Amino acid sequence: MSTTSLMIVGVGGQGALLASKLLGRLLMGEGYDVKISEVHGMSQRGGSVVTYVRFGDKVYSPIIDKGEADYIVSFEKIEAARYISNLKKGGCVVVNTQQIDPMPVIIGAAEYPESILDELRAKDVDIDAIDALSLAVEAGSPKAVNIVLMGRLAKRFNIPYEKWIEAIKNSVAPKFIEMNLKAFELGYNA
Amino acid sequence: MIGNEAVARGLYEAGVGVMSSYPGTPSTEITEFEAKYDEVYCEWAPNEKVAMEAAFGASLAGVRSACAMKHVGLNVAADPLFTISYTGVNAGMVICVADDPGMHSSQNEQDSRHYAIAAKLPMLEPADSTEALRFAKEAFKLSERFDAPFFIRMCTRIAHSQSAVETGERTCSAKPYVKDPAKYIMMPANAKKRHPVVEQRTLDLTEFAETCDLNREEYGDGEIGIITSGTCYQYVKEIFGDSVSVLKLGMINPLPIRRIKDFSAKVKKLYVIEELDPIIETHCKNIGVEVIGKELFTNIGEFSQGYIAAQLGMPEKACVSADTAIPNRPPMMCAGCPHRGMYYVLAKNKITVLGDIGCYTLGAVPPLNALDMTLCMGASVSGLHGFNKALGAESEGKTVCVIGDSTFMHSGMTGLVNIAYNGSNSTVIILDNSITGMTGHQQNPTTGYNIKGDPASKVSLEAFCSAIGIRRVRVVDPYNLDECEKAVKEELAANEPSVIISRRPCVLLKSVKAKPALKVDADKCRSCKKCMKFGCPAISIKNGKARIDATLCVGCEVCMQLCPFDAIGR
């Protein structure tokens, strides 16, 4: 199988690490060669963060370049747009409609492009937008946004539902399993 | 495993007994993972020089040892490095150094390979986690065989990329310590005898590079050949698969000669693809092999498969882009960050601030714009001394430096000794958040805990400053703006050196409990935007009124002190 490329983008502290850990576990379990790449350090502090997940028979590069991503999972609205040039033609974007103002917007130096997703849809980009924050809160914690989005992504993956459930159980602390399973289900059925 | 964990595993399997490091992105996790193995003694040293010397001491004693640091940390450790090259080792010694092309989290993008060449030491460079484990393990064996410490060079994309590895068992072998003054006492008479040994060793290592399996040829067609290493190898394979010929170098110093000539003879067009400086390219040209290198591939920043393909004239992949400008999302100090209060006071009073390396470098960005300079670890303190010696009374009353607790221990304290000893009327502010913050919460000598989280001896900053002769030392709470402002004004006015310790633990520490979020009373808010001046990410203006994001606010109450209309409360 040729390599599939997936990007997880968002704001530092939104839980991309757990999402990539979950995907890594799931995909390795399916027998794929997997590479996951992220950047630590300065960029974590509330900045824009990106994680690359690539899997297939044999994966070489750990990063994803322009026009290469089959999927972009975005934890925040404008972060999806920031990395949109990485999306392959025909690729899809699963995006949380949550809006987190970056500092230039907070201090009034820039404007938040509210209708950015419509602009991308007009360019024929496959945008799957859900209010993952509300669903996460419904599941029991605003921190479960990552798992809600994984649920949404799972619909587009050719991997059995039970395998996802198993991977979640193995990736989160026992006391959070139930809440995360609910978050996953809500995302999957949204 | 991420590459750094794989290095740690390789060191572990090879029987490393002692590891000493100073944290620095992207090298930090090597030591953090090593510390999880109970059989290995691990520590955070105050700086990289101390770490390397501690590792050398362990090697001298007969125990395999390692140290890890980021590229700029190697500058700090350069002094012992160049002479350990002369003494060689007893038990094997591995120096892990992580470069940061693209400067994701660094102040420059120097190329560590220059150090290997300058110090005449061997350097290995893995291209994924599997190789990271294997090379780290192999490095100990080779270190003992060639009587030299071995470098493992990482870069961000190898250090922080995960791929599957196969682990093995740990085997340990200690060597006896035998007194050998001619080898280990580097005074001129002995060092003169060691230098030829070093030169011969480089010849031996070069011969080893000609045949070792750390380097490998992968022959495709005879049209194009590419010499590469590390992460660039992955980009090349991503583009070409097995269609072109590749000489993949796992040992990047010293480089082979015959092997490169043989490879070049089998291809029509030869490229060298390497990030940062033209090290391999220069070697090829020196041995008379014609290559295409930096005229095509820049020595600035990171590469990627797309970049390399584009430089080779291949078509770009189709993609869409947004027409609307997407506002930047720069990193910033967290809501409730204790540094913010002090920075607000400094910015408000228009004070010149010489800064240092850590989270608090983020005080440089809008709206605080509080910093004037950031250079390297410790430079704020020594720089302030020089600044004040140059300008005297003109700058003394309106210039300070800021430095974190860990950075102060690293190399700020020697600068403070200079201030005390050579008497500059300087005001030093230690931003003590009781942890090494930017690299992800490592303990340091001021925290009272060691790398394993066990209680340890704790350096008292107050006692230290007093002991070196600073008479004016005071502690303030950066959540109390009036207290900070009073201290800054008084210490700047004082006619002698002074230290202000701005003390409050990092809000991200698990031991720090957030207070309930604050709220804005919209009726009282008059939209003066004063609360927007200190750059808290939890505060924004919505419909003309200030609003506090309850999920971000930790209830630090600094904004309450700024509001002239008492509009902020619980």
Give, for all 190 residues of chain A, the pLDDT tens digit. Answer: 799 999 999 998 888 888 999 999 999 999 999 999 987 655 566 788 899 999 999 999 999 999 999 999 999 999 999 999 999 999 999 999 999 989 898 888 899 999 999 999 999 999 999 999 999 999 999 999 999 999 999 999 999 999 999 999 999 999 999 999 999 999 999 8
Q: Are B378 and B49 in contact (CB under 8 A)?
A: no
**Is pLDDT above 60 for B380?**
yes
Same topology for domains B216-311 and B519-569, yes or no?
no
- Collect all residues of chain B within an 8 Å Cβ-Cβ radius of residue A111: 327
Residue B159's alpha-carbon distances to B6, B162, B251, in angstroms, are 9, 8, 17
- The minimal CB distance from A37 to the residues B161, B316, B324 is found for B161
Distance from CA of A66 to the nearest CA of B (A): 7
CA dihedral B481, B484, B485, B489 (to 10 degrees): 180
The residue among B478, B487, B501 whose CA lies nearest residue B556 is B478
Contact B326 A37 (CB under 8 A): no
Would you call the peptide bond into A113 cis, given omega within 30 degrees of 0 as the criterion?
no
Which ranges in B454-514 belong to alpha helices (H)? 461-467, 481-493
pLDDT at A17: 85
CATH of B339-503, one of 1.10.10.10, 3.40.50.880, 3.30.360.10, 3.40.50.970: 3.40.50.970
Residue with tokens 């002369």: B86
CA triple B81-B435-B99, angle to 5 deg: 35
CB atoms A66 and B332 under 8 Å: no
- Residue B349 is predicted with a pLDDT of 97
pLDDT (average), residues B470-499: 98
Indicate the burial class of A189 (C-beta count within 10 angstroms; 0-12, 13-18, 19 or more).
exposed
Verify whether the Cβ–Cβ distance B540 to A66 is below 8 Å: no
Q: Which of B320, B337, B365, B433 to mutate to test the interface with A (most CBs of A within 10 A)?
A: B320
Nearest CA in chain B to A86: B319
Question: What is the C-alpha separation between A162 and A185, in angstroms, rounded?
Answer: 11
Q: What is the amino acid identity at position B315?
A: P
Which chain B positions have a beta carbon within 8 Å of A104's beta carbon?
Answer: 327-328, 330, 366
Closest chain B residue to A52 measured between Cα atoms?
B161
Domains and CATH numbers, chain A: 4-99+117-189 (3.40.920.10)
Contact B306 A65 (CB under 8 A): yes
Q: Look up the pTM and report it.
A: 0.96
| Number of CB pairs, chain A paired with chain B, less than 8 A apart | 181
CATH of domain B3-211: 3.40.50.970
Smallest Cα distance from A87 to chain B, Å: 6
Q: Which residue of A has its CA nearest to B327?
A: A110
- Look at residue A44 in the predicted model and tell me its pLDDT: 60
Is there a contact between A61 and B162 if contact means CB atoms under 8 Å apart?
A: no
Among A28, A60, A87, whose Cβ lies nearest the Cβ of B237? A60
A89 interface with B at CB cutoff 8 Å: yes
Helix, strand, coil % in chain B, rounded to nearest 5:
40, 15, 45
* Chain B CB within 8 Å of residue A160 CB: no
Query: What is the model's pLDDT at position A42?
Result: 58
> Looking at the domain B519-569, which fold is it?
Alpha-Beta Plaits (3.30.70)
Q: In this structure, are residues B424 and B385 in contact, taking their beta carbons and an 8 Å threshold? A: yes
CA distance to partner chain B, nearest, from residue A189 (Å): 26
Query: Does CATH number 3.90.226.10 belong to domain B216-311?
Result: no
How close, in Å, is residue B215 to chain A by CA atoms?
Answer: 18
B77-103 confidence digits (pLDDT tens) = 999 999 999 999 999 999 999 999 999
Query: CA nearest A111 in B: which residue?
Result: B327
- Average pLDDT of B361-367? 92
Q: Kindly report the backbone phi and psi dihedral angles of residue A113, in degrees, each rounded to the nearest multiple of 5, phi listed first.
A: -75, 90
So where are chain B's domains? 3-211, 216-311, 339-503, 519-569
3-state per-residue secondary structure call for B137-191: HHHHHHHHHHCCCEEEEEEHHHHCEECCCCCCCCCCCCCCCCCCHHHHCCCHHHH
Residue B542: pLDDT band (50, 70, 90) is: confident
B-chain residue closest to A82, CA distance: B326
Number of H helices, E strands in chain B: 22, 21
Mean pLDDT, residues B171-182 taken together: 96
User: CB-hemisphere CA count at 13 Å for A157?
Assistant: 25
- Answer whether B163 sits within 8 Å of A62, measured CB to CB: yes
Say whether B160 and A40 touch across the interface (CB within 8 A): yes
> How far apart, in Å, are the Cα atoms of B342 and each of B34, B494, B534?
36, 19, 10
Name every chain B residue with its beta carbon within 8 A of the beta carbon of A19. none
CA B69 to chain centre: 6
Interchain proximity A82–B326, CB inside 8 Å? yes
- Residue A120 forms contact with B (CB below 8 Å): yes
Task: Please check the confidence at residue B330 and state whether its pLDDT lies above 90.
Answer: no
Distance CA B65, CA B59 (A): 6
Name, in order, each residue with C-beta under 8 angstroms of B415's C-beta and a sequence gap of 6 or more. B378, B379, B380, B381, B382, B383, B384, B385
pLDDT of amino acid A41? 59
**Chain A contacts of B275, Cβ < 8 Å?**
none
Between chains, do B327 and A111 touch, taking CB under 8 Å as contact? yes
Chain B residue with the nearest C-alpha to that of A59: B238
Q: How far is CA B373 from CA B107, B192, B346, B492, B564, in A?
A: 12, 42, 14, 19, 32
CA distance B511 to chain A (A): 18
A26 interaction partners in chain B (CB closer than 8 Å)? none
Phi, psi of B36, deg, nearest 5: -75, -15
Q: Token pair of B416, please?
A: 């403070």
pLDDT at B520: 97
CB atoms within 10 A of CB B269: 14
User: Is the CB of A61 less than 8 angstroms away from the CB of B235?
Assistant: yes
Inter-chain touch B325–A78, beta carbons under 8 Å: no
What is the average per-residue pLDDT within B30-34? Answer: 98
Shortest alpha-carbon distance between residue A91 and chain B (Å) = 10
Look at B332 and A103 and tell me if their CB atoms are within 8 Å. Answer: yes
User: Considering CB atoms only, which of B26, B320, B537 is closest to A41?
Assistant: B26
Q: Which residues of B touch A11 (CB under 8 A)?
A: 329
Chain B contact for A78 (CB, 8 A cutoff): yes
**Contact indicator for A12, A43 with CB cutoff of 8 Å:** yes
For the residues of A113-178, what is the DSSP string, one character each? -TTHHHHHHHTT-EEEEE-HHHHHHHHT-GGGHHHHHHHHHHTTSSS-HHHHHHHHHHHS-GGGHH
What sign does the dihedral A159-A8-B312-B291 (CA atoms) show?
negative
CB contact under 8 A, B104 and A102: no
CB contact under 8 A, B324 and A81: yes
Q: How far apart are CA B131 and CA B411, in angstroms?
A: 34
